[in-house]
Structure 1
Amino acid sequence: MAKILIIEDDEVFSELLVMHMEDRNHEPQTAHTLEQARERLAESIPDAILLDQQLPDGFGIDMLKEIVAQPPYPPVIMITGVSDNKLVIQAMGLGAHDFIRKPVDEIELDTTLSNALKSHRLSRQVSAITHAEDYQVDIGQIIGTSPSILEICKTLGSVASSNAPVLITGESGTGKEVVARALHHHSGRTGLFLPINCSALVENLLESELFGHEKGSFTGAIARKEGKFEQAVDGTLFLDELGEMPASLQAKLLRVLQEGSFERVGGTQTQHSNARILAATNRDLKAMIGAGLFREDLFYRLNVVHIHLPPLRERMGDMPLLTEHLLGKINNKQHTAVKHLAENTWRRMKVYSWPGNIRELENILTRAAILARSDTITEDLLALPEEPGHEHPDSKEEALPSLRLISLEVIEQEHIRAILEHTRWHKGKTCEILGISRPALDRKITKYALG
């Protein structure tokens, strides 16, 4: 059943459309003027709109412009007796889903509406995942054969099909989202996998992203918006960086876990969600509980199943498999052709502690692959910093005269310059490789005087 808004000034024809929609098990609403239509849209967003052109207080084409100006908007089907091909072209150009002339053929209407609803469902899914990363690793694939990875896979297989919350812990870059995606992939749930970073948004915006908001609930809330809990119906909501969630939102999250219900920001109507909750953090939540920074009751609600990811330095036996996998991904994305690592490159990688874990490994390999002049990565391309207490594998006991003791800022400056030169100063490609926004790149170019 879908919610259909019928904007039609002819009350007889409007009533016929209402009966037809009800016969098809839809939920129709009517508006006979543009003003009534605006009121209906402010109350709730329908799944599709049937829009007449000639209305008492204006034209349907003007209403169409207002609707498409606030994405994501529902599909709009123009229905009019006006025989004007320019109007058809204008409406379709503005974003109308289709255009039907009166008298309306029922089969044509049913087919058009069915296609519009399917398109709307797909567009909502695409919209919901727009902010997710361009994730190239095969969904559900976890790389490694070490005992710790084997135990993680066993746990994953045992709990994936349940509805139990899962708390995933580990240092930054260990692959917590990979595990979360694998849990969803093997869960059999038909809805979306929606990740949200709890540290990336200020408190009021994070609340709106999670729970949605009503029109006028705060400055800039020009229309009602569904939150991630509503978008993830029958799916999985992944709360990354959970330890950064403000205390006020922790209480609201606890209620969803306990009762499956919540209210949108500025709303009074209770909403419901059956989304499965997965959470990840690199923080010590028990220590945060002791410091009064995290709710103990929320911790136990989320910690029904606990999966801990070891740092890369504790699973170095997986390095060859991880490197092979990442090089395949890098070659595909960056159009490089690296196939091998020199022996001294392997030795250097094995004694490095990898504080950034798999994410750091991927970044280092990406830079090396881009700069490589053959199909082999040599040690000089790694740009790994020397670590106190970790001797270079090819060094003698005496200090290396060529050792460069440089700051992270210098490393970043050199890395950004190398990527800019590789892309011939194509900022879009540079941002894609570095994983940063255009404004962030511009700030770093200015900071390091690279221009």
Structure 2
Amino acid sequence: MSLGTETKHLPLYHAFSVLVIHGESDELGGLLRTLDTWFTTVDCAETCLQARKQAHQNHYDLVLVDVGLFTSEPSLLEELSHWHQNRSDVLLLVHQNELDLAIAAFRHGLFDFVLNPVHPEQMAHTVRRFMDKRLKERRLCALQRDFSRHSSTQMIGQSEKTKLLRQHIEQYAPSKASVMIEGQPGTGKELIARELHEHSHRIGPFVPFSCTKSSPETIEKDLFGEVITLENGSRKFNEGVFKVANGGTIYLDEVAHLPMRIQELLLSMLEERTIKPVGAKYEFPIDVRVIAATNQNLNVLVQQGKFRSDLLYRLSVLKIEVAPLKERKTDLKELVPFLANRLCHDLCLPLPRWTDEDIAIIRDYEWPGNVRELRNLIENCILLGKSPSEYWRNRNHINSGTPITVTVSHGNQIPYYDEKPAQVKQEGYPNSWTLRKVERCHIEQVVLFHDGNKSAAARALAVSRKTLERKYKEWDSSDDDSRYTE
């Protein structure tokens, strides 16, 4: 009698608990010894009253009950039904002459039993089935909670292009028509697809599918499912994502990568609203809204013979173009604090305190990786405890030894810093230099080292930002005077 490999210290189902309700304690010896090897918590009760008291003090994942108690304890059946509704599986222990009592229990939603006296292999099989189902429920619950932490259908920003995007979502969501979303990587195409689904009120799930993750050999099975004939002649159906998404929405990311064979099958599905699993001799109807996305020009691929024009027409009944982040930078005003707050909450870390120069760097950068790159930067800065300017400087020193071109806002001008910082000579400054000239050279080198961030340079020099600004004004005025005296 084996349920699987157990650890040396913990029972196989150590995270679960069992309550055994049985009027004849003498018959329980072997059963309890078996349960003790599988579960950490195994409690017993001889009456309905005892069981009720224990159930008030503990939650039991599995309840084993002798159906013979139904005769002497009429309220027990109703009590078990209530426990079952509160996520306790109920397993009936039934003697051969008590099957009519088991049938009455089935009417209350208690769906399984084992014959008493218990056969070890039958008990092992039944317990494994109950606990595996419970483990799947817990994993699914954990996945749903984790997904809710890392996903959002909020469209953040007040730029004109983001406002237009919201209008399209509101207008297109109620329709059953296919939607094509075009945009650069990292612009949030899946977020838009999720919001379209959320506002469509379709009862089925939202199922994302990346057309680049499956191999050409398996993508048809992944999409449409597969029927397998087993050795005993029975048939097993493995559902594809279209079947999983039935009644809901399927999101096909990077649709340009679909092989021509799959394009043909997808076109047939869109026209006939049926799918045929691999190995099946039948088709069955499907009700799925298709939202596709791409960062490539599909019209060019059509001209090159790599994408079907008729499929493009069917997928592009409605079309949404997502502008890159560099074209809607006013969204950063809301997007940066939104992402920072969300990430700090998830990471259990305090909100960062960045200077005006850091915010200017974020605002002035071109963001080729779009929102995905922005989120990555903010997350790295929060985890490493660095400002954006410090993070970029360290990353580029490691990768290339040359800082990226960024702009820093100070005064009324925005100078560009795209040169490698000057290296301080080890032998020091020339003896002929005045102290004023040495001071100026040193300060300018420190400011350059910090990519023009005067606040960071001031901290490194152990002076205030105002002192640094005063020095620059003095130098500017002296430079102007020197032009008239030359």
Task: Calculate the TM-score normalised by the size of structure 2.
Answer: 0.57
Whether 2:408 is the aligned partner of 1:393: answer: yes
Deviation for aligned residue 1:299: 0.7
* CA 1:346–1:150: 2 relative to 1, 3 Å: same
Gaps of 5+ in 1: 1-60, 66-81, 405-451
Q: How does 1:365-404 map onto structure 2 within 5 Å?
A: 365-372=378-385, 377=387, 379-383=389-393, 390=405, 392-393=407-408, 400-402=419-421
Q: 1:226 to 1:129 in 2, by over 3 A?
A: farther
1:85 paired with 2:82, answer: no
- Residue 243 of structure 1 aligns with which residue? 256
Q: Paired residue for 1:148?
A: 161
Letter in 2 for 1:353: E
Deviations 1:207-264 (A, max 9, x none): 21211111259xxxx9421111111121111111111111111111111111111111
Residue among 275, 287, 294 paired with 1:281 = 294
Q: Displacement of 1:137 after TM fit?
A: 5.6
In 1: Cα distance, 2:364 partner to 2:91 partner: 66
Identity value in percent: 27
* Letter aligned with residue 85 of structure 1: L
Q: Is the 8 A contact 2:183 2:321 kept in 1?
A: yes
Question: Structure 2 matches for 1:35-434, cutoff 5 A?
Answer: 85=31, 89=35, 98-102=90-94, 103=99, 104-112=101-109, 134-136=147-149, 139-216=152-229, 223-372=236-385, 377=387, 379-383=389-393, 390=405, 392-393=407-408, 400-402=419-421
Q: How far off its partner does 1:292 sit? A: 0.8
> After superposition, what is the alpha-carbon deviation per residue over 1:115-137, rounded to whole angstroms, capped at 9, x for unaligned?
999x9899699769969983536
Tell me, what secondary structure is at the counterpart of 1:214? strand
Q: Residue 434 of structure 1 corresponds to which residue in structure 2?
A: none
C-alpha spacing 1:129/1:147, structure 2 compared with 1 (3 Å): farther
Q: Quick one: distance in 2 between partners of 1:230 and 1:110?
A: 31
Relative to structure 1, is the Cα distance of residues 180 and 378 closer, same or farther in structure 2, using a 3 angstrom cutoff? Answer: closer
Does the C-alpha gap of structure 1 residues 289 and 397 become closer, same or farther in structure 2, counting only changes over 3 Å?
A: closer
Which residue number corresponds to residue 12 of structure 1? none
**Secondary structure, aligned partner of 1:237:** strand
Q: Is the 8 A contact 2:403 2:419 kept in 1?
A: no
**Residues 342-370 of structure 1: CA deviation (Å, up to 9, x unaligned):** 11111212221111100000001100011
- Corresponding residue of 2:65: none
The structural deviation recorded for 1:393 is 2.8
The Cα offsets for residues 272-323 of structure 1, whole Å up to 9 and x where unpaired, read as: 2101111111111111111111111111101011011110000001012111
Amino acid across the alignment from 1:287: V
- Shift in alpha-carbon separation, 1:388–1:371, aligned structure 2, 3 A: closer
Deviation at 1:163, TM superposition (A): 1.0
CA distance in 1, matches of 2:214, 2:146: 16
Backbone CA RMSD of aligned residues: 4.0
Residues 335 and 186 from structure 1, CA distance in 2 versus in 1: closer, same or farther, beyond 3 angstroms? same
Distance 1:87 1:99, change over 3 A: farther
Q: 2:280 & 2:141 partners in 1: Cα distance?
A: 21
Q: How far is 1:111 from its partner?
A: 3.5
Equivalent AA in structure 1 for residue 389 of structure 2: E
Deviation at 1:146, TM superposition (A): 0.8
The structure having more radius of gyration, on CA atoms, is: 2
- Equivalent residue, structure 1, for 2:52: none
> 1:392 offset after TM fit, Å?
3.5
Offset of 1:157 from its aligned partner?
0.7
Alpha-carbon distance, 1:380 to partner? 0.9
Assess if the C-alpha contact under 8 Å between 2:344 and 2:351 holds in 1: yes
Change (3 A) 1:85 1:197: same
Q: Give me the whole-angstrom Cα distance separating, in 1, the residues matched to 2:91 and 2:309.
A: 56
Q: Distance in 2 between matches of 1:234 and 1:128?
A: 22
> One-letter code of the match for 2:109?
T
Pair 371,349 (structure 1): closer, same or farther in 2 beyond 3 Å: same
Q: What is the CA–CA distance in structure 2 between the aligned matches of 1:197 and 1:125, rounded to whole Å?
A: 26
Q: Is the CA contact (8 Å cut-off) linking 1:184 and 1:236 kept in structure 2?
A: yes
Q: 1:89 to 1:337 in 2, by over 3 A?
A: same
Contact 1:331 1:337 in 2 (8 A): yes
Instruction: Name the amino acid aligned to 2:354.
Output: L
- State whether residues 361 and 406 of structure 2, in contact with CA within 8 Å, keep that contact through their aligned partners in structure 1: no
CA contact (8 A) 1:125 1:192 kept: no
TM-score (norm 1): 0.61
- The runs of 5 or more residues in structure 2 that have no matched partner are 5-26, 40-60, 63-88, 113-128, 424-486
**Cα distance per residue 1:9-58 (max 9 Å; x no partner):** xxxxxxxxxxxxxxxxxxxxxxxxxxxxxxxxxxxxxxxxxxxxxxxxxx
Measured after TM superposition, the shift of residue 398 of structure 1 is 7.7
Between the aligned partners of 1:274 and 1:121, the Cα distance in structure 2 is 30
Note closer, same or farther for the CA distance 1:132–1:282 as it changes in structure 2 (3 Å cut): farther
